[in-house]
């Protein structure tokens, strides 16, 4: 004989409890009806065994107090809290839908377009929570709420794929979360915790981003990023950031999305995005990239890296550098090595070592060596540009390359090579207006580039400038002026690069002629 639910039919605040719809470790969840507003609501009731707990009871009340301030379309709203029959409850928004966990189980492998759309909504909710300014009961102004328990069970999906982030039971004000966990208790779900959270260290918004990464990983692969069964093994996996690359489990993922996911799941917070706005921008770029190229796109990097010095020439250059320095010192023994060069000689040695590592195909080590060159030396821009070029061409890490080059531009560096590489990166990110601006700036510049721009590279720049105008017209802006610019760009490329019979037969020239003809028809 079944036992009647003791809460069915009871009144909690202005709501009559009607149906049990879920049960968690610490609370019951019911569908209820608000008599005053004639609307369905959710009533969450803390289990009696936790009502006297010095941790759970205050946190249950805190959840209501914090979330009541979060008025955002992608956060499940809280309307009221109180007591009935010695039970504490929270009255929340009722929506039709399922948890992300249930959604994944029902639909199996999710399309990348759907994942990116859902991720963007989650990030929007996190950005609002992280940037919220509020006052404590003592009147102290604080900023930001950290969720600390992002997982598929705490994300609702409506029938029209609207996302609702919920269950802020483990949430904490950012200024409080910045202190290490106290009392030996860590709140959250182990498989989705960041390394710093699982270790009980101080937290900031980047901890939520790691959890977001684990959720996105699971949406792509259908399995947890850290699937260990034993607690010790799980903690070790999370702390070291050891997870199976998503492409090994699902080849159909676009490269920019894969790169963003790897950033989110970095075991070191410093390598994750700094704020939700940065992730929003990256996700929008991923969406645009996906809409144009689809999944698993492999774009040929339009640079020939054979133009770099051979190992022999590098060694000869280094010897020449040393001999020239000694020649100077020999003519003037009053000049010391340290006083003459300051950090410059050391910087040139670093660049030399980096190029040797590059020749040995030790790309990551070469980048590290380039990035050691101190700012303020004349070699700094050259070294930074080398590092960005390797990130771009060899490691396909577009965001890192872009970050380095944009940083140089903010510091006043105006260089045609920097503009060229940045333009090619923007092109691969499907940011065509930005791409053509930088590529055009590179071609128009009269300055000597920090690195060599040979004839092949010039051809690359002109070709992808034409492609940027073309794709901007086809995918972004149907303005006739953009069409005219694209047609003019292809005409110029054909005149400059395809004038000889040999070049005319190249795939680029054939493509240029084909696109020029197609665009010319659009003018009719």
What is the predicted pLDDT for the residue at 338?
38
Tell me where in the chain the CATH 3.30.200.20 domain(s) lie: 11-93
**Sign, Cα dihedral of 183, 135, 84, 6:** negative
Percent of the chain with pLDDT over 70: 84
Q: Helix, strand, coil shares of the chain as percentages rounded to 5?
A: 55, 10, 35
Which candidate in 40, 149, 275, 479 is catalytic?
149
CA distance 122 to 280: 10
What is the predicted pLDDT for the residue at 123?
97
CA distance 190 to 350: 42
Q: Greatest CA separation found in the chain? A: 105
CA distance 241 to 87: 41
Label each residue of 471-508 as H, E or C: HHHHHCCCCHHHHHHHHHHHHHHHHHHCCCHHHHCCHH
CA distance 456 to 45: 69
Rg (CA), the chain: 29
**What digits encode the pLDDT tens for the residues 448-490?**
999 999 989 999 999 999 999 999 998 888 999 999 999 999 9
CATH class of the 11-93 domain in this structure? alpha beta
C-alpha pair distances (Å), 322 with each of 65, 105, 341, 342:
68, 66, 12, 15
What is the predicted pLDDT for the residue at 237?
87
DSSP 449: P
Label each residue of 159-192 as H, E or C: CCCCEEECCCCCCEEHHHHCCCCCCCCCCCCHHH
5 CA to centre of own chain: 46
Tell me where in the chain the CATH 1.10.510.10 domain(s) lie: 98-293
DSSP 209: H
In order along its 524 residues, the chain shows pLDDT tens digits of 456 888 999 999 999 999 998 887 788 999 999 988 899 999 999 888 777 666 666 677 777 777 888 889 999 998 988 889 888 899 999 999 999 999 999 998 899 999 999 999 999 999 999 998 877 666 667 788 899 999 999 999 999 999 999 988 788 887 665 555 544 456 788 889 999 998 888 899 999 999 999 999 999 999 999 988 777 888 888 888 889 999 999 988 988 899 999 999 999 998 899 999 999 999 999 998 888 877 654 444 454 433 333 443 444 444 444 444 444 444 444 434 333 344 678 888 899 999 999 999 999 999 999 999 999 888 999 999 999 999 999 988 888 899 999 999 999 999 999 999 999 999 988 889 999 999 999 999 999 999 999 989 999 999 999 999 999 998 888 999 999 999 999 999 999 888 755 566 688 999 999 999 999 988 87
What is the predicted pLDDT for the residue at 55?
65
In the annotation, is 149 catalytic? yes
CATH class of the 98-293 domain in this structure? mainly alpha
Tokens of 434: 């930005």
DSSP bridge partners of 89: 45, 82
What is the predicted pLDDT for the residue at 176?
62
Count the neighbouring beta carbons within 10 Å of the beta carbon of residue 517: 11
CA distance 7 to 338: 81
Query: At 77, phi and psi to the nearest 5?
Result: -80, 150
């Amino acid at each position: 004989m079944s036992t009647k639910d003791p809460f069915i039919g009871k009144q909690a605040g202005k709501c009559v409890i009607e149906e049990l719809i879920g049960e968690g470790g610490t609370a019951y969840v019911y569908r209820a009806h608000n008599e005053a507003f004639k609307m369905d609501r959710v009533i969450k009731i803390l289990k009696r065994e936790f009502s006297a707990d010095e941790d759970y009871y205050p946190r249950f009340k805190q959840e209501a107090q914090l979330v009541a301030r979060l008025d955002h379309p992608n956060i499940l709203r809280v309307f009221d809290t109180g007591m009935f029959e010695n039970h504490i409850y929270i009255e929340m928004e009722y929506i039709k839908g399922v948890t992300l966990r249930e959604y994944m189980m029902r639909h199996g492998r999710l399309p990348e377009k759907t994942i990116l759309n859902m991720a963007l909504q989650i990030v929007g909710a996190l950005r609002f929570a992280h940037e919220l300014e509020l006052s404590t009961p003592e009147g102290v102004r604080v900023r930001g709420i950290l969720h600390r328990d992002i997982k598929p069970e705490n994300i609702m999906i409506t029938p029209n794929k609207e996302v609702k982030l919920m269950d802020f039971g483990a949430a904490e004000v950012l200024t409080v979360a910045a202190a290490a966990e106290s009392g030996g208790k860590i709140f959250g779900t182990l498989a989705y915790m960041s390394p710093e959270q699982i270790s009980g260290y101080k937290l900031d918004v980047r901890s939520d981003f790691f959890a977001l990464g684990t959720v996105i990983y699971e949406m792509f692969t259908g399995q947890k990023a850290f699937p260990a069964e034993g607690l010790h093994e799980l903690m070790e996996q999370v702390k070291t950031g050891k997870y199976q690359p998503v492409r090994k489990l699902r080849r159909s993922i676009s490269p920019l999305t894969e790169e963003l996911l790897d950033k989110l799941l970095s075991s070191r917070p410093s390598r994750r995005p700094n704020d939700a706005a940065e992730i929003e921008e990256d996700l929008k770029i991923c969406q645009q990239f996906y809409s144009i190229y689809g999944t698993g796109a492999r774009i040929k990097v339009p640079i020939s890296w054979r133009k770099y010095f051979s190992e022999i020439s590098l060694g000869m250059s280094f010897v020449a550098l040393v001999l020239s320095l000694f020649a100077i010192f020999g003519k003037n023994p009053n000049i010391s090595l340290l006083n003459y060069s300051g950090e410059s000689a050391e910087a040139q040695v670093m660049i030399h070592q980096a190029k040797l590592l590059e020749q040995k195909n030790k790309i990551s080590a070469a980048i590290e060596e380039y990035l050691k060159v101190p700012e303020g030396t004349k070699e700094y821009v050259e070294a930074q540009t080398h590092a960005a070029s390797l990130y771009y061409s060899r490691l396909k890490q577009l965001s890192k390359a872009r970050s380095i080059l944009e940083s140089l531009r903010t510091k006043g560096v105006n260089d045609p090579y920097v503009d060229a590489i940045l333009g090619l990166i923007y092109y691969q990110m499907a940011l065509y207006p930005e791409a053509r601006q930088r590529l055009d700036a590179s071609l128009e510049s009269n300055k000597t580039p920090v690195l060599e721009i040979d004839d092949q590279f010039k051809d690359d720049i002109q070709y992808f400038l034409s492609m940027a105008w073309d794709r901007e017209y086809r995918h972004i802006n149907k303005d006739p002026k953009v069409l005219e610019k694209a047609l003019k760009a292809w005409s110029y490329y054909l005149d400059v690069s395809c004038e000889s019979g040999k070049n005319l037969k190249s795939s680029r020239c054939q493509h240029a002629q084909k696109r020029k003809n197609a665009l010319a028809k659009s003018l009719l």
